[in-house]
Amino acid sequence: MNRIVISLDETHHLMDGKPLYSYRFDNVQSFHFPLAYAPVRNGQHAFFINIEGKSVFERNFKNAFGFYDDIATVVDERGFFHIDERGRDIHFQHFAWSGNFQEGICVVEDMESKQFFHIDRNGDPIYIKKYAYVGDYRYGIAVITNTDGFCTHIDMQGQLLHGKHFLELDVYHKGYAIAKDERGYFHINKIGEAIYNERYMKLEPYYNNRAIAIDQYGIKLIISIEGKIVKKLSEMKK
């Protein structure tokens, strides 16, 4: 199934370079497995197809997105909501916007306050507070943005993980997260502490204890977890 890709014009799917089915749509999105359903659009209608290009259940939407955790985010005239693999609503809530389910939790935007929070599969908030924005949970930790624009991490109960706030913040990867303060980008640990003193113009997550960074002079580097330069990938232009 990994051989299935979207055609360049995004009207159908290909397998080994050949059309997977004879149908053509206005737009198709990727198949998500193991269900092997893909959202497609024709005119004003969005629905789901199987690998034969046929509709998997008799229900259309204004918009539809892929299945994650066997749940899909869809849109009708009432707003964003969620369905199961049979096309049935999994709860009765509707939202101004919704992300996709990750780790059994989903980001949504409240219809009235336009603030963001996380819900469970029943459509219920997993904590009380709402924020200017929230991101997906990864390994039980999510990034939230307060109304002042500063970011921090929360756990699955909505409690602050470390209580430190930053101008920008990413999810944890390999135990470290990218943060930004007034000096630039750097990595922090699970208690919100910088793991080195340097700051960078641009920074990537660690991959096997190495990360790509660009310093204040525009030089691309590989750095270690200790913040030491392992290798310079480019030199400063004169």
pLDDT digits (tens, 9 = 90+) for 13-24: 999 989 999 999
pLDDT digits (tens, 9 = 90+) for 46-91: 999 999 999 999 899 999 999 999 999 999 999 999 999 999 999 9
Angstrom distance (rounded) from CA 108 to CA 125: 9
The helix, strand and coil proportions of the chain, stated in percent and rounded to the nearest 5, come to: 0, 45, 55
* Residues 6 or more apart whose Cβ sits within 8 Å of residue 44: 62
pLDDT digits (tens, 9 = 90+) for 136-169: 999 999 999 999 999 999 999 999 999 999 999 9
Q: Are 59 and 72 in contact (CB under 8 A)?
A: no
- Residue 121 buriedness (CB in 10 A; 0-12 / 13-18 / 19+): middle
How is the chain split into domains, by residue range? 131-238
* Residues 6 or more apart whose Cβ sits within 8 Å of residue 113: 130
Domain 131-238 falls under CATH 2.40.128.630: yes
Query: Is the bond into 125 cis (omega within 30 degrees of 0)?
Result: no
The reported pTM is: 0.90
